[in-house]
Structure 1
């Protein structure tokens, strides 16, 4: 299966990865492919290329633009979520540190393999419903439980 037939799969080749990213950045990626795993693909790619700070800014800008391109709204209750985005970028930065010398494609695949099934990871870090919290959607809220050791491996 490929990401086109199963949007929960990581790209199998650099060509698939680049095609996914081009479509995402152009706002032409079908909404059905903008899954949790799709977020991981884009985030892992940006972390790999740019490092944490620039990846965060890039992801913020691209997700907001994508949401608008597909007719979505970035508001206090829907669309882009600052805390979840920054949390996942932090998770991906830790994963990259632990995966010394891997290629961009291998890192993206590792991110999807490791964290695709863990879309609720935020529940380990926050003692409130961070997904629905309007303050957390608008601005970074530090994890209430810190970063568990399991994120560092």
Structure 2
């Protein structure tokens, strides 16, 4: 048992398993946690440069959600603005890290950082703007502060 406010990953293989399970839509739905979202996205951004995340992240996550019985509608499933806000945070995190660092060290450092917190996007967005249908369906710009730039 850990007293950490997040669930750390045991090793690089566990992170790759989550990322690959997202891509091939085999990750069990209960394993698609907040930590898994961030770990998979960091792995994709760092190690899967063959994937254009700006163009493909919405499709990757939406298809995964549908494959595990979820829906992507105005109140559930894929949320474009939250995803893209975290992607900006992950890219800024990676830009500040040693590229030779083990994957698990980078992911666990992200999860321990402000950018790894569940409420992190609310540093940039008002609650009303972030949780609007428009923000779920497409990226909306922040109304409180600019997102980090890598």
> Whole-Å Cα distance in 2 between the matches of residues 65 and 104 of structure 1?
25
Structure 1 partner of 2:146: 147
Q: How many residues align?
A: 145
Matched, 1:49 2:47: yes
Q: Which runs of 4+ in 1 moved over 3 A?
A: none
Whether contact under 8 Å (2:16, 2:40) holds in the other structure is: no
Q: CA deviation at 1:115?
A: 4.8
2:22 to 8, 12, 24: 24
* TM-score normalised by L of structure 1: 0.79
**RMSD, aligned α-carbons:** 2.7
In structure 1, the gaps of 5 or more residues are: 2-7
Q: CA deviation at 1:131?
A: 4.5
Structure 1 residues 71 and 131: CA distance shift in structure 2, 3 A: farther
In structure 2, the gaps of 5 or more residues are: none
> Whole-Å Cα distance in 1 between the matches of residues 15 and 116 of structure 2?
20
* TM-score normalised by L of structure 2: 0.81
Structure 1 residues 56 and 23: CA distance shift in structure 2, 3 A: same
Whether contact under 8 Å (1:40, 1:116) holds in the other structure is: no
Q: CA deviation at 1:48?
A: 1.2
Structure 2 partner of 1:4: none
> Whole-Å Cα distance in 1 between the matches of residues 143 and 87 of structure 2?
17
> Whole-Å Cα distance in 2 between the matches of residues 13 and 19 of structure 1?
10
1:61 to 59, 62, 67: 59
> Whole-Å Cα distance in 1 between the matches of residues 8 and 96 of structure 2?
19
Matched, 1:40 2:38: yes
